[in-house]
Amino acid sequence: MSEHAVPFHLPEIGEEEIRAVTETLRSGWLTTGQRTKQFEQEFAQAVHATHAVATNSGTAALHLALEAVGVKEGDEVILPTMTFAATAEVVSYLRAKPVLVDSEPDTLNLDPDAVKQAITPRTKVIMPVHFAGHPCAMDRLLSLATEYELKVVEDAAHALPAADHGRMVGAIGDITCFSFYATKSITTGEGGMATTHHAHYAERMRSMSLHGITKDAWSRYAGTGSWYYEIREPGFKYNLTDIAASIGIEQLRKSRRFWTARARIAAAYHDAFNELPEIQRPLCRPGYEHAWHLYVIQLNPERLRITRDDFIEALKKEQIGTSVHFMPLHMHPYYRERYGYHRDDFPHACAAFERSISLPIYSRMSEADIRHVIDVVRSLITQYRR
């Protein structure tokens, strides 16, 4: 067993974030306030959006976005089966139906052809997920949305920063939702952001994130605020605190450097695995900027004498952290039992799940860390190839 440990992920928190949190704590204002507003403004600028609404999680952002575009009971929302629980569960929050579709076999993003086949008179929203940080085929999805009068709400939890032919993810669909969970490209511990060009969506999400009461209700406790507020509709409690926002401001300012580091690691993996037919490497199509939030390899089982699960265990013995993104939603008990999905309904997603391993890729990785991962993967391939 190697003594060189490489965790799956470590956030990069510096003195700037620590100082910003300390300043916020000393300011006497801890909840949503001016620092949250600053974070929203700087984030909107970074992704070329007009408006940004900070939330306490990416899940909250998705929920607010679907509510803002008018998803109601009985509506249908099309989304990929190859995603995390949050993408579909927010649809259920609104008593709508998540309609799952298969993935493209190369990017693992939702397949626009499958989306078209899934559209019915009840479809309200297409919800693309930019898997691992590779943008979806947004032109085709936007064309479908226009043809069928649908909204596009993007799950961009993996996609900061990412771009589709020069357009930043965050400024393409009707609303785009980001996550700042601890393992994401930038982090506030827990947190999220919804971006849009539409003022009415931003106003709706901002109000509904604070119980459905008057805009900027947080300011009623400030010296310039008023005690008076009105409840427009029963909303939620999804606002981000100034403590978290102060971390986010500093993280956002480092996000391009973080991306450069991840892109360098992806390039090193790519070169190292180039001549290994036992491994299918992730790709980046021409015209796209990949966020490289994840680096997902797929094993070719017909060329190996080891299963994917045993390969993960072998990496673990060498103290290399990994994960699997994702077990498709249609394979989970809830979706099988509630909607009648079967394992073979989405063959591309199912095949990818059975072969996939997410390797470490984060800005704090040293050259020795990168080399250790490469050496162990190559050694295992050599040891177990047929």
Q: Is 371 exposed, middle or buried (0-12, 13-18, 19+ CB in 10 A)?
A: middle
Q: In whole angstroms, what is the distance from residue 67 CA to residue 112 CA? A: 24
Q: Choosing from 97, 124, 151, 184, which is the catalytic residue? A: 184
| 82: amino acid identity, one letter | M
Torsion of CA 109, 113, 115, 118, to 10 degrees: -140
For the record, the structure tokens of 304 come out as 């190996």
The answer to whether 184 is a known catalytic residue is yes
Please state, in angstroms and as integers, the Cα–Cα distance from residue 289 to each residue in 84, 132, 135, 138, 166, following that order. 22, 12, 8, 13, 8
Q: Kindly report the three-state secondary structure assignment for every residue of the chain.
A: CCCCCECCCCCCCCHHHHHHHHHHHHHCCCCCCHHHHHHHHHHHHHCCCCEEEEECCHHHHHHHHHHHCCCCCCCEEEEECCCCHHHHHHHHHCCCEEEEECECCCCCCECHHHHHHHCCCCEEEECCECHHHCCCCHHHHHHHHHHHCCEEEEECCCCCCCEECCEECCCCCCEEEEECECCCCCCCECCEEEEECCHHHHHHHHHHCECCECCCHHHHHCCCCCCCCCECCCCCECCCCHHHHHHHHHHHHHHHHHHHHHHHHHHHHHHHCCCCCCEECCCCCCCEECCCCCEEEEECHHHECCCHHHHHHHHHHCCECCECCCCCHHHCHHHHHHHCCCHHHCHHHHHHHHHEEEECCCCCCCHHHHHHHHHHHHHHHHHHEC
Q: In whole angstroms, what is the distance from residue 263 CA to residue 77 CA? A: 33
By annotation, the residues acting in catalysis are 184
